[in-house]
Amino acid sequence: MRSICSFVENTKKMHCVSHILSLGHLIKHLPCTKSHTFLRRRFHYKALSNATVSTTASCFKTLSSSQQDQIHLYVDTLLQWNQKMNLTATKEADEVMERHIEDSLAILPPIKTCYNLHSSDLFDHINLIDVGSGAGLPGLVLAIACPDWRVTLLESINKRCVFLEHVVNVTGLTNVTIVRGRAESCGHDVMYREKFDVAIARAVAEMRVLAEYCLPLVRIGGLFVAAKGHDPKEEVQNAENAVRLLGGSILQISPVDSHSPYGQRTTVVCRKDHSTPQKYPREAGTPAKLPL
């Protein structure tokens, strides 16, 4: 595999501290998980227990040595900073690797499968936003794994943005932009509204809320991806109407192996079919208080 550590010049954007990375071809070599497809306007959910494909154990090993070094630098920095600020409940490096890094990498095959099926654009050059990035999961991990992607980390808490900026400097990433702000505001900003190929969120909120955070940021034909728990059936069913109101449709759920207590997580993938009505997202705090 060719080196995936090429760098491009640092840039700055309004309301953000940015370091723009180059993104690689690892994704071409990632295995794809089996998935359960959703018919538009009608929800179908099948049992996941026998459909899980093992991806987490192999994804990290698929990375180049330089990418693995970047991951280890990130994990070390995360644990150091976690001693003085609340970034993760996980305290040990091995557990971070198992519970967070491998979980984040396992999201890639379902994204690849859906993107290649439903978009004519090149998968190798995706413009992705991680909404509510927190400690950089999964956005920073995806930026390391896919150095030809442009990755934006959206985070509302300033001290977490400072941490993310530090990690970007430590790891040498050049394809990452850090934006301090709320999804409800960025969703109405012309710089961000309907500008991304993929919006992703992990451990942020329930699906109805995530849909209002993420879908306004996704271009027509792009994807909204939610990393959820081992059995999101009821949650996804409840979100179907919200997704439709916001211009999307549920494409599929993809079970992936995980080191979570249940041994499995689920990636929910939605497609942006048409523009989000201008009144969405609603003002800050409303989506969480009054989900669609």
pLDDT of residue 37: 41
Q: How high is the mean pLDDT of the chain?
A: 82
Q: Write the CB contacts of 172 (distance below 8 Å, at least 6 apart in sequence).
A: 5, 7, 70
3-state helix, strand, coil in the chain (%, to 5): 35, 25, 40
pTM, whole model, 2 decimals? 0.80
Q: Residue 53 falls within a domain, yes or no?
A: no
Q: Tens digits of per-residue pLDDT, 255-273?
A: 877 665 556 789 999 999 9
Which residues span the domain enclosing 205?
Answer: 59-289
Q: Residue 22 falls within a domain, yes or no?
A: no
Question: Cα–Cα distance between 45 and 39 in angstroms, integer?
Answer: 10
Q: Tens digits of per-residue pLDDT, 147-192?
A: 999 999 999 999 999 999 999 999 999 999 999 999 999 999 999 9
Alpha helices in the chain (DSSP H): 56-62, 65-82, 93-96, 102-105, 108-118, 139-145, 158-171, 183-186, 207-214, 233-245, 286-289
Q: Residue 48 falls within a domain, yes or no?
A: no
Q: Residue 32 falls within a domain, yes or no?
A: no
Question: Cα–Cα distance between 61 and 55 in angstroms, integer?
Answer: 11
Output the domain CATH number for residue 222. 3.40.50.150
Q: Residue 9 falls within a domain, yes or no?
A: no
Q: Residue 165 falls within a domain, yes or no?
A: yes
Number of H helices, E strands in the chain: 11, 9
How many domains, in total, are found in the chain?
Answer: 1
Q: Residue 132 falls within a domain, yes or no?
A: yes
Q: Residue 74 falls within a domain, yes or no?
A: yes
pLDDT of residue 231: 83
